[in-house]
Structure 1
């Protein structure tokens, strides 16, 4: 049954609550902002007046039966799925719920090694065993792309007892895999297909974008509406197609880790963003694609820069490409992506999504316009003139992209094992007891249970030299790393 996508049941209920001017003797304790007037004055009193707790008129995320349930049903329709669950713990919580809904301790799951840390942390929570498949790589750009159907086929042949195949669609840089054929292959062997679609929340809303995972037959997908769909940060949705996975199991798993004090600001923003995407998405993304294509062409006229895009389609690991990911290789002007990331922020007041050894990534979405893109183009033009040298930067990207690491101990067992600190430089050959990653993008260089090799150490030291934000280690400066042992 298709529902009226003009409706915003949760947002309407929240507005009705606000109009009643209820006297609150429940939480939150700021009582409609009166307890923190300085903050209320800055963000606006109305924002805090609708920052409320679960109650009968507003439903409850743990067991939705009225307005949240209606809003989730509208979300499911919007994404061509059977069910949708709101997530206020971000897509991290949704990814973890996907894996935990399918895998029990000791079960195998096939996944690419360039998965986000939410997936590797889900292995710890679920006790599942990773069967890593290597994504295709583009050596010129120094980045991982999608996974090939052949690599999935080989992994399934060697691990016919695996419970699921996990896919990233798209990658951070915009590459998609052949999800439809991977789904067909996995289902033939009774395996569920779980899709991290954090950066593809906009896919179903314009025909010139790649197709969404649920339309392609995936069993579950986690979508970050806050990334590319217009909702507030930390708000996402978990989508489910009936068949291999029970919806009540998913609900139970979500309730294990998701807060019982769900933000109505976040949930209402999901409700309104979904309406906007369905009713206006075609026009919005027609405009976004137009200005992004124009910007890509203009950037490619700047000496030393290469804004890659649809020309990559057909290369290994690139079944399709999301043009709203404005990825730019900067090595031709003689600086690293990390340096370009910092320079754009510090000298031009422009914040791009990420920088890596060779590239920067600007995400263009529903809130962008010609003015913002023109500012980026002018900054890049000035950057090229100021910093361009005669030699291109040649940096070996992390070998983790090229070779699967050795998994010696399961992530869960490594997480709970006894550990010791060793100097990073002296950790080669040890089994890691923790994860290390640069954020963004939050893809681990090493995870618990993997043997640390020389290339990992070299790359971590390079990241430190570039002042990258390294996370997840107990030592905040990553001088030491925890490894297994007494």
Structure 2
């Protein structure tokens, strides 16, 4: 049941419907004139009703840059439902929301504490703000080969050593569904006089079911960016930026959003945000309870398949891994003698199962409120078939991997290369601020000649997904050796202009 009766409406969607029904003849953008000129393929892609309502900036439909009517109403309803002082619709995905968050909270030259495994949108935000990053190493689960969040101890230490920092940027939950202790981190950050910014792209659903990790806004964050399209029902590219006004002014956030948002925002995207909020207000807890139940049963069944492992709550409670979103199913496939890349390819080609992501050891699957017993059963059947085929091929016995619960201390940062281990080197020195490095002329340089040069790109390998070098940092001999080893191991590289890593881009 909805406690607040006002949440039972979708004001933006209703205004668009009313405009369509009013029958005004279009002598305005978009060019397809409410579907009259739409190509047959576009008509198949978007419904007739959708095309009629795909309009822009009519008086009745408000203005995202100066919301006073239905858009303001829709954003206010989102803020109330999420427990925020204000909510802002973002039509450039969570990347745009993160850029606005950094612009609103920081000024040129400000120092900001950033986890080393932050999304690449953060580095774009650093260029826009001309802020100075101070990187913090996340915790890494060596057995799984994935990076988790920041530990409370790491945050406390960073705040103590860098009192000049204006804010801490936190990623929680991670792509793999692992949440940090946001409440404790918020207390530490605020005691240090800093602002807490949270990339909660993978946690837009957390506020609606009590058995999920605590939502960042409820835990005390000041600004939170969410991908409403990832696990809720908004359309792709539709996100939210939530604000608690204690440390950041609403007007400053609005100015940042105006600066970064198109003057022609797509009303279908914005209406989908309004409707996704309505859907969660109507029945979010029930939807998510069903999804969590499916996920828990599926996790149990997967762990009963020889050669597969899907980690759960048993690996939580340690540094940087406070709680787990059960809707993220990370299946380790090394016990089948397969890499994550191979397993994902087989699942897609042989079983028509498309995973969210894969890395060297794991394949990640998302369950959402839209999943059913049938979809969960189909995934389980495909995984069982994958394991059976691997066993029949005689691969499992030679390569089975036993994964033990984590020890009390944080695991060391390692990446598996064949039978040996190659240590991920320490973060290299920062020679140029990201903004200055962005505007410098860059050239290609052979990787073996890059030592001592300043990076003009940010490069990471999966796993564990932590940048080996960021724009503006200096290539060290250790960094170059590590990159050579990872290239030879065939791990997935991101951020490099030359995906083969035969060359890297450096400041001229």
Q: Shared fold by TM > 0.5?
A: yes
Between the two proteins, the alignment pairs up a number of residues equal to: 482
Corresponding residue of 1:381: 384
| Cα distance, 1:53–1:477 mapped onto 2, change above 3 Å | farther
What secondary structure, in the 3-state scheme, does the structure 2 residue paired with 1:396 have?
strand
Whether 2:198 is the aligned partner of 1:198: answer no
Corresponding residue of 1:481: 504
Equivalent of 1:435 in 458, 473, 477: 458
Alignment of 1:337-348 (within 5 A): 337-348=340-351
CA distance in 2, matches of 1:174, 1:47: 34
Alignment of 1:436-475 (within 5 A): 436-437=459-460, 444-452=467-475, 453-454=479-480, 456-458=482-484, 461=487, 465=490, 468=492, 472-475=495-498
TM-score, structure 2 length as denominator? Answer: 0.90
Greater mean alpha carbon deviation, residues 49-58 or residues 31-40:
31-40
1:387 Cα deviation from its structure 2 partner:
2.5
Whether 2:354 is the aligned partner of 1:351: answer yes
CA displacement, residues 109-155 of structure 1 (integer Å, 9 cap, x when unaligned): 01110000111211111111111111111100011111111111111
Corresponding residue of 1:391: 398
Alignment of 1:319-338 (within 5 A): 319-338=322-341
What secondary structure, in the 3-state scheme, does the structure 2 residue paired with 1:323 have?
coil
What secondary structure, in the 3-state scheme, does the structure 2 residue paired with 1:368 have?
coil
Corresponding residue of 1:96: 99
| Cα distance, 1:355–1:302 mapped onto 2, change above 3 Å | same
Whether 2:105 is the aligned partner of 1:85: answer no
CA distance in 2, matches of 1:230, 1:438: 31
CA displacement, residues 70-126 of structure 1 (integer Å, 9 cap, x when unaligned): 000000011111100000000001111111111112110011100001112111111
CA displacement, residues 255-282 of structure 1 (integer Å, 9 cap, x when unaligned): 1111111111111111111011122011
CA distance in 2, matches of 1:400, 1:175: 23
1:204 Cα deviation from its structure 2 partner:
0.6
| Cα distance, 1:246–1:259 mapped onto 2, change above 3 Å | same
CA distance in 1, matches of 2:481, 2:36: 54
| Cα distance, 1:131–1:399 mapped onto 2, change above 3 Å | farther
Corresponding residue of 1:7: 9
Alignment of 1:360-379 (within 5 A): 360-379=363-382
CA distance in 2, matches of 1:62, 1:88: 12
1:437 Cα deviation from its structure 2 partner:
4.8
* Cα contact 2:445–2:505 (8 A) shared by 1: yes
CA distance in 1, matches of 2:378, 2:422: 35
CA distance in 1, matches of 2:355, 2:461: 15
Equivalent of 1:404 in 408, 424, 427: 427
CA distance in 2, matches of 1:426, 1:385: 46
CA displacement, residues 286-340 of structure 1 (integer Å, 9 cap, x when unaligned): 1000111110011111111101111112122111111011111111111111222
1:460 Cα deviation from its structure 2 partner:
5.5
| Cα distance, 1:4–1:440 mapped onto 2, change above 3 Å | farther
* Cα contact 2:427–2:468 (8 A) shared by 1: no
* Cα contact 1:116–1:441 (8 A) shared by 2: no
Corresponding residue of 2:26: 24
TM-score, structure 1 length as denominator? Answer: 0.94
Greater mean alpha carbon deviation, residues 169-178 or residues 13-22:
13-22
* Cα contact 2:159–2:165 (8 A) shared by 1: yes
* Cα contact 2:290–2:369 (8 A) shared by 1: no
Corresponding residue of 1:39: 41
1:418 Cα deviation from its structure 2 partner:
2.4
Corresponding residue of 1:112: 115
* Cα contact 1:198–1:224 (8 A) shared by 2: yes
1:431 Cα deviation from its structure 2 partner:
1.9
1:41 Cα deviation from its structure 2 partner:
3.1
